[in-house]
Structure 1
Amino acid sequence: MIDPAILLRYRGFIKEFDKNETVFLQGEEPRYYYQIVQGKVKMNNYNEDGKEFIQGLFGDGESFGEPPLFCAVNYPANAVTLQATRILLISKSDFYTLLEHETSSCFTVLQALSSRLYYKSIMAPDISSNDSEKRILTLLHFIKEQNQVGQQEFLVELTRQQIADMTGLRVETVIRTIKEMESKKQIRIERGKLFI
């Protein structure tokens, strides 16, 4: 994402979070740009029945939670660490100054936001579909594409629960559907690991 040295030059700072620590809550006002130095973060929210829906998973070098910084709205989801995580933060005003002076960083942010918008647009039709196989394949192909693997086989580092939470399916449905997909040779499973 943005070169950490540039973020630090514009008064960014690194903060350490424990596993399962909340970075921000749904409904809070955005005050910082967040970029992961090392670790993993999920953005999630819950429906009225308490079922979790994962909006996105982010790892080393990735940023998260930017859209509310630009459109003056509160966070639509929570951000929670999945492991001990170090995050580089920069205040909203300092981030704006950075973007005004660092053109390449501005385009990097636009590219990341566009990629996420693309993900939402390809997932939206499938989320409303009852075809669990289609939902899962769309998610897996997108993740593979984002990692720029091309034709090579790709190890999907998501749990069955995370796949369920990202597709709006029940974990039992994900497990059953993945077995069916394996029998159709759409994916490969080795020692519980999922490859596409």
Structure 2
Amino acid sequence: MLNTAIVDPWSEIRREFENEICSIGIPKKFHKGELVFEEGRPYTGFFEIISGIFKVFSLNTDGKEAILKVFSPGELIATHPIFQPKEPCIYPGFCEALKDGELIYYPKKEFISFLKGNNQALFLFSYATVEHLNYFRKKMMENLFLSVKDRIITFLIESGADQGFVSLPVTKYQLASLLGTTPESVSRAFRFLTEEHIVEERNASYHILQKSPLN
């Protein structure tokens, strides 16, 4: 019977199918600024972050960057194209290392063969992929309807700043791209949040003092 009360489907896959996952995964190290994959290139598989920080982004025709998500250890990158039936299947964006780190690469062909032979793993991985896509939908809605201050609070909570002081994993310029606004708006919002004692700053680290929604 499939378990529908899943907290972390990928961790569950790793726990239940440890030998199979270890036999498929290929460790790869990346240096800061190095590209993991490029938008439009043939899709060959997805990645699990072991260490480091990575960003996924797109470029417009003028070369302007729009950051789609910043990924941390334990997260998966580029899972959903594995279910695309049409060929050629391509990577939908760029991925770059923001810090030196290690990824585990799971080749598409081998991982699909594993899923076909394990219904529980297929269910769990499908669940993880849907959650991943829901995250992007949620972020799109937040960028459309929330104030910059609210978006910053949400980002800080996701980074753990409601539990203690955390450093930003990206620059404020990159954060502006991620939040769909300008660096000037981000600077003004941070200034407001600290002056109003909603967020405390200490040595370029931040801690949320108030988590209630802002106006």
Tell me whether the two structures share a fold, i.e. TM-score over 0.5: yes
**Counterpart selection for 1:6 from 17, 20, 28:** 20
Structure 1 residues 67, 175: CA separation in 2 closer, same or farther (over 3 Å shift)?
same
> Counterpart of 1:135?
151
> Counterpart of 2:99?
83
Structure 1 residues 38, 132: CA separation in 2 closer, same or farther (over 3 Å shift)?
closer
**Counterpart selection for 2:189 from 177, 180, 184:** 177
Q: Does 1:160 align with 2:172?
A: yes
The answer to whether the 8 Å contact 1:161/1:171 transfers is yes
What are the superposed Cα offsets for residues 89-120 of structure 1, whole Å, 9 maximum, x if unpaired? 22211111222334554344334323323322
How far apart in 1 are the matches of 2:193 and 2:60? Answer: 28
The answer to whether the 8 Å contact 1:156/1:195 transfers is no
Secondary structure of the 1:185 match is coil
> Counterpart of 1:121?
137
Letter in 1 for 2:202: E
- How far the C-alpha of 1:154 sits from its partner, in A, is 5.8
What are the superposed Cα offsets for residues 141-160 of structure 1, whole Å, 9 maximum, x if unpaired? 4x15xx6x8x6346253332
State which drifts further: 132-141 or 20-29: 132-141
What are the superposed Cα offsets for residues 21-67 of structure 1, whole Å, 9 maximum, x if unpaired? 11110111211121123222211112344332111122223210111
How far apart in 2 are the matches of 1:5 and 1:193? Answer: 40
Aligned residues: 190
How far apart in 1 are the matches of 2:149 and 2:129? Answer: 27
Identity of aligned residues (%): 25
Letter in 2 for 1:8: C
Secondary structure of the 1:128 match is helix
- Within a 5 Å distance, the mapping from 1:91-130 to structure 2 comes to 91-129=107-145
The answer to whether the 8 Å contact 2:54/2:72 transfers is yes
> Counterpart of 1:57?
70
Which TM-score applies when normalising by structure 1? Answer: 0.81
Which TM-score applies when normalising by structure 2? Answer: 0.75
What are the superposed Cα offsets for residues 109-148 of structure 1, whole Å, 9 maximum, x if unpaired? 334323323322222223234832233233334x15xx6x
The answer to whether the 8 Å contact 2:163/2:207 transfers is no
**Counterpart selection for 1:189 from 182, 201, 206:** 201
The answer to whether the 8 Å contact 1:56/1:166 transfers is yes
Structure 1 residues 46, 7: CA separation in 2 closer, same or farther (over 3 Å shift)?
same
Structure 1 residues 85, 137: CA separation in 2 closer, same or farther (over 3 Å shift)?
same
How far apart in 1 are the matches of 2:163 and 2:187? Answer: 24
The answer to whether the 8 Å contact 2:165/2:205 transfers is no
- How far the C-alpha of 1:195 sits from its partner, in A, is 1.8
